[in-house]
Structures are given as structure tokens and as C-alpha cells.
Amino acid sequence: MACAPSGDAFVCCFARPAFRMSHDAPDGTYARRVQDGDRSAFRMLVERYEGMVFDLAHQYTDGPEAAEDLAQDVFLTAYRRIDDLQDPDRFASWLYGIALNRGRDYAKNVRRDTYPFSRSEQEGTHIRDNGAAQDDQLVADERGDQLWNALDELAPTYATPFLLKYRNGLTYKAMSKRLDVSVSALKVRVHRARKKLRTLLAPYHEKSRS
């Protein structure tokens, strides 16, 4: 595969595909062409998902310029790792996972001293899950280092849906569509993530009470 471009020229350096293909062609068609060495096909994927990636990046950053930088980093990472994509037809969920991980890295490393769920709270979105006050305490009271360090201990299978629900405020139905996982499976994963996080954060709670 051709070397990935870098810097501000990342998107514009991908020429429009010379081959004839409908703009309605599935993601897998473009992704396979990129894997075969046709980097121009990646431009179509960027144009298709740049809005989604930028919106997600904006939730982890403090302004449009930082969001653009993060979004570009997401696409650059996806381009470099495209050969690792085993099922090209699931490009969207794969890309979304990369965006979440890069967003987590940004929040942990760049905004480490900020309140990780502050944007949702400022917008009046309070975390609720079956009225479980203990889970509210889990998310609302833990500061960046403690919560992000605990999240790093979770497998992506559990950390990703937890972040989508609590950090991004998605419904289970929306999460299911994004990740191509059933609602029932996502509920189980979020429940297990909360349970594991409570265990990991218990020492911090005990210390704060002493």
C-alpha cells in the first residue's frame, strides 16, 4: 500500500478515484480498493465519514481547530492500519472504534486534568441507568486520572460501549447501529464494565472516606 500522507495535505492529496463507481457503493468496495493499493478510494471514505468523525472529535476537544487535528489523526491512523481491517464491509464500526480510542487518548493525555464528563453535565445531561445511584457516583465523582486509568484496565469490548453511553450519551439503539452489536449484548457489556470499574475504583472511594 502507498505511504500515507501527513499534515494538512492529508485529505486533498487523495485524488478522486479514476474508476467508475457509484457514490452509493458500499464501504467495503472502497476499503478493499484501498487495501489493494488504490489510495484514491480512501478519499471517498473520508468524505463519507468526515462529519461523523469530526462530531466525535469535537466532544473530546476544546475547539474546532483541535477537533480538526484530532479528526485528521483518526483518518491517518485508519489509513495506516487499513490492512488490519479483516472485514472491509464493517469499515464504519472499525473507523468509529479508532475515533473513540484516539479521543480517549486525547482526553487522557491532553485534557488529563479536566473533568472527563463535564461537557455532558454542562449541557444538562445527567447520567442515569435504572436509577442506580452508585453508578451515578461512579461516573460523576471520579476525576480524570482515576477514571481513565481504570478504563485502561478494561478490554475495548467493554470500555467502548461504556464510553459511548456515559461519555457520548448514546442510546443503546444508537450504539447498536454504530458498533453492529445487538442491544442486549451491549447492555451486558455496559453492566460488566460498570461492575469492573466499581471494583477498580473502590480503593479511591475508601481513601476519600478515610
Instruction: Identify the three-state secondary structure at position 118.
Output: helix
Q: Cell numbers 466499581 correspond to what residue?
A: 198
Backbone dihedral region for residue 125 (phi beyond 0: left; psi -120 to 50: alpha; all else: beta): beta
pLDDT tens digits for range 13-51: 444 444 444 567 899 999 999 999 998 899 999 999 998
Average pLDDT, the chain: 75
pLDDT for residue 191: 94
Backbone dihedral region for residue 36 (phi beyond 0: left; psi -120 to 50: alpha; all else: beta): alpha
Interval 100-112 mean pLDDT: 73
Domain boundaries, the chain: 7-111, 117-210
- Distance in angstroms (rounded) separating the CA atoms of residues 94 and 205: 35
Contact 91, 45 (CB under 8 A): yes
- 7-111 shares its CATH topology with 117-210: no
Percentage above 90 pLDDT, the chain: 32
Cell of 119: 461537557
Q: What sign results for the dihedral spanned by CA atoms 115, 121, 125, 131?
A: positive
Which fold does the domain 117-210 belong to in CATH? Arc Repressor Mutant, subunit A (1.10.10)
pLDDT at 183 over 90: yes
Interval 181-202 mean pLDDT: 91
| Cβ burial 163-175 (10 Å sphere, 16+ → b, else e) | bbbbbbebebeeb
pLDDT for residue 63: 78
Across 57-66, 75-84, 132-141, 154-163, least confident range: 132-141
Determine the CATH number of domain 7-111: 1.10.1740.10
